[in-house]
Structure formats: structure tokens, C-alpha cells
Amino acid sequence: MNGPHDLGGMQGLGAIPIEENEPVFHSAWEAKVFAMSFATFSTFFPVDETRHAAERIPAGEYLSASYYERWLAALELLLTEHSWLTPAEIEDRITHLRQTES
């Protein structure tokens, strides 16, 4: 498969920034996405299905997303495809979380 996730050997994409003493998580939400993803990926979704979900993220979204934003997009995709959540339920939760942060 050839897509934005498969950049091996491509040239001209610029330098990769290296952050000295980079933390594992830059924000608390990244740690939460990691925990949710790890719990569901290791228990309910085979690694190949998880990778395939990430590969189906639209190219523009994939390239502009951070590492954990990609994990979250793959998790949301799998949860909706397996009918565990609806897109509306995800959006409702996002709205709720934004309101509680304010």
C-alpha cells in the first residue's frame, strides 16, 4: 500500500525536528489516548486491523495530524465500524469535554 503513512525513502520532506529531552507525552490528552488505544487495541482489535484503520485516514488529515491524533482517529474509526459508538456519540463527548475545560 502506498500512502502518506509510507514515506520510507521519499526525499524533500524536510528535516525531522529532534526535541532534546522530549517527554513521552506532551499533553495529558495524549496519555489518555494512549491508554484507551492500548486497552482496546490489545484486547479487541488485532494489530493488522489497527494499522489498516490508520492507513485509511485521509492523506491531508494524516499528514497534518500529530502522532497521537492519528492514534485517536484510528480508534474512533474502529469503534464506529464495530458499532460500539456512533459518530454522534463521539461528537457529543467532544462537545461535553470542551465545555468542561472552559
Distance CA 80, CA 33 (A): 16
Distance CA 55, CA 60 (A): 12
Instruction: Count CB neighbours of 50 within 10 A.
Output: 20
State the cell numbers at 83.
458499532
Residue 8: predicted pLDDT: 57
Residue 3: predicted pLDDT: 62
Distance CA 81, CA 61 (A): 19
pLDDT (tens digit per residue) in 15-74: 778 899 999 999 999 999 999 998 987 789 888 898 999 999 998 899 899 999 999 999
